[in-house]
Chains A and B, each alone.
Chain A
Amino acid sequence: MKRLKRDIVVIGSGPAGLCAAIEAARSGAAVLLVDENAKIGGQLFKQIHKFFGSADHRAGVRGIDIGEQLLRQAEELAVEVWLNCEACGIFDEKTVWMVRDKEHSVAVEAQRIIIATGAVENSINFPGWTLPGVMGAGAAQTMINIHRVLPGHRVLMVGSGNVGVIVSYQLLQAGATVAAIVEAAPNLGGYGVHTAKVRRAGVPFYTSHTVKEARGNGHVERAVLVKLDSQWNQVPGSEFEVEVDTICIATGLTPAVELAFGSGCRPFNSPPLGGLVPVHDRMMKSSIDSIYIAGDVSGVEEASTAMEEGRIAGLSAAHSLGTITDQMFAERLEQLQHNVDALRSGMFGQKRREAKDAIVRSYGVER
Chain B
Amino acid sequence: MAKGLDVVIVGGGIIGLAGGYFLSRKKKRVLVIDKGGFADGASGACDDMILFQSKKPGINLELTFESLELYKRLIVDFDDEMQFKNLGGMVLIENDAELAIMEQFVAEQRSYGLDVEVIGQQDARKKQPFLSDHIIASTYSMMDSQIDPFHVMRALEKHGLKLGMGIQRRNGVVAIERLGNGNWSVVCEDGSTHEAPVVVNAAGAWAPSIAQMVGATVPIVPKRGQIVLSERIPPIGETNLWNAKYLVTKLHKGTEVQMTDEERELGLSLAFTRSAGNTYLMGSTREYVGYDKGTTIAGIRGIIDMTLSYLPKMKDVGIVRAMAGLRPETPDGKMILGEHKNLDGFYTAAGHEGDGIALAPVTAKLLSDLICGNPIDRDLGELSPNRFGGMAHE
Contact = CB atoms under 8 A, between A and B. Distances in A.
B297 to A, nearest CB: 5
B301 A91 contact: no
A95 interface: yes
A88 B319 CA distance: 9
Interface string A177-197: 000000000000000000000
- B296, B297, B301, B322 interface centre (most CB from chain A within 10 Å): B297
Interface of A is mostly: strand
Contacts of A1: 297, 301
Contacts of A105: 297, 301
A97 B322 CA distance: 13
Interface string A63-95: 000000000000000000000000011010001
B295 interface: yes
A91 B301 CA distance: 13
Contacts of B300: 88-89
A107 to B, nearest CB: 6
Interface in B293-333: 294-297, 300-301, 319, 322
A75 to B, nearest CB: 31
A1 B301 CA distance: 10
B285 to A, nearest CB: 15
Contacts of A89: 295, 297, 300, 322
A107 B298 CA distance: 11
A97 B297 CA distance: 7
A267 to B, nearest CB: 13
- A1, A89, A95 interface centre (most CB from chain B within 10 Å): A89
A117 to B, nearest CB: 15
Interface in B339-373: none
Contacts of B319: 88
B136 to A, nearest CB: 30
Interface residues on A, range: under 10
A1 to B, nearest CB: 7
Nearest to A95: B297
Interface in B186-221: none
A40 to B, nearest CB: 23
A63 to B, nearest CB: 30
A91 B292 CA distance: 13
Contacts of A107: 297
B6 to A, nearest CB: 38
Nearest to A103: B315
Contacts of A91: 294, 296-297
Contacts of B295: 89
Contacts of B297: 1, 89, 91, 95, 97, 105, 107
A89 B226 CA distance: 15
A91 B297 CA distance: 8
B256 to A, nearest CB: 28
B300 to A, nearest CB: 8
A107 B301 CA distance: 12
Contacts of B296: 91
A212 B322 CA distance: 37
Interface string A1-22: 1000000000000000000000
Nearest to B295: A89
Nearest to A97: B297
Contacts of B294: 91
A89 B319 CA distance: 12
A208 to B, nearest CB: 36
A36 to B, nearest CB: 12
A95 B297 CA distance: 10
Interface in A1-51: 1
B125 to A, nearest CB: 28
A158 B297 CA distance: 41
Contacts of A88: 300, 319
A94 to B, nearest CB: 12
Nearest to B320: A258
B209 to A, nearest CB: 23
A1 B300 CA distance: 13
A154 to B, nearest CB: 32
Interface in A86-138: 88-89, 91, 95, 97, 105, 107
A5 B196 CA distance: 57
A165 B294 CA distance: 44
Interface string B269-310: 000000000000000000000000011110011000000000
B337 to A, nearest CB: 36
A261 to B, nearest CB: 12
A254 to B, nearest CB: 17
- A1, A91, A95, A107 interface centre (most CB from chain B within 10 Å): A91
Interface in B105-150: none
B16 to A, nearest CB: 27
Contacts of A95: 297
B301 to A, nearest CB: 7
Contacts of A97: 297
Contacts of B301: 1, 105
A342 B22 CA distance: 62
A74 B295 CA distance: 34
B150 to A, nearest CB: 19
A89 B322 CA distance: 10
B147 to A, nearest CB: 27
Nearest to A92: B294
A95 B300 CA distance: 14
Interface string A323-343: 000000000000000000000
A107 B300 CA distance: 13
A92 to B, nearest CB: 8
Contacts of B322: 89
Interface in B4-27: none
Nearest to B294: A91
Interface string B233-249: 00000000000000000
Going nearest first, the 3 A-B pairs with the smallest beta carbon separation are: A97-B297, A91-B297, A107-B297
Given A89-B295, A95-B297, 5 more contacts: A1-B297, A1-B301, A88-B319, A105-B301, A107-B297
6 contacts: A88-B300, A89-B295, A91-B294, A91-B296, A91-B297, A105-B297
